[in-house]
Amino acid sequence: MGSIISQSPAETFALGRALAATLRGGEVLALAGDLGAGKTHFVKGVAAGLGHQSEVTSPTFTLIHEYTGGRLPLCHFDFYRLETEDDVLRIGLDDYLVPPTVLAIEWADKFHGLLPAATHWIHFQVGEGDTRQITT
């Protein structure tokens, strides 16, 4: 993917949807960026691209949302409120690192060391207005 400038939430969604077409199962998508940078919109696109019909929302307070019924299962994590590596391990991250489940993890950069070496890092940077720079 490289570096792409998204001009709107709809474009960010479309980028996530396009990425979903390339997923084969077992991928970890580590999403890093400030609040409001487009991470959740991107995951909404990934979920749609995988064929999930459920409404996708940020798991900020629940920590994990699981989506089944699509081409591949999707687990959406949010590490924002977690303080330590033990917190991450207690919610069972290791239990989800099993193909064919795809993991999308917001605020993954907080616990870089817990993620597999093959993790796909996606960075979101806020620009002017709705513009976002999305870099892999």
Which domains are present in the chain?
3-126 (3.40.50.300)
What the block records as the tokens of 45 is: 């696109």
Q: Are 47 and 67 in contact (CB under 8 A)?
A: yes
Query: pLDDT tens digits, residue range 48-61?
Result: 999 999 999 999 89
pLDDT at 10: 97
Q: What's phi and psi for 130, nearest 5 deg?
A: -90, 5
pLDDT at 73: 98
With 0.75 as the threshold, say if the pTM is over it.
yes
74-86 burial code (b ≥16 CB/10 A, e <16): bbbbbbeebeeee
pLDDT at 110: 97
pLDDT of 1 above 90: no
Query: pLDDT tens digits, residue range 69-119?
Result: 999 999 999 999 999 999 999 999 999 999 999 999 999 999 999 999 999
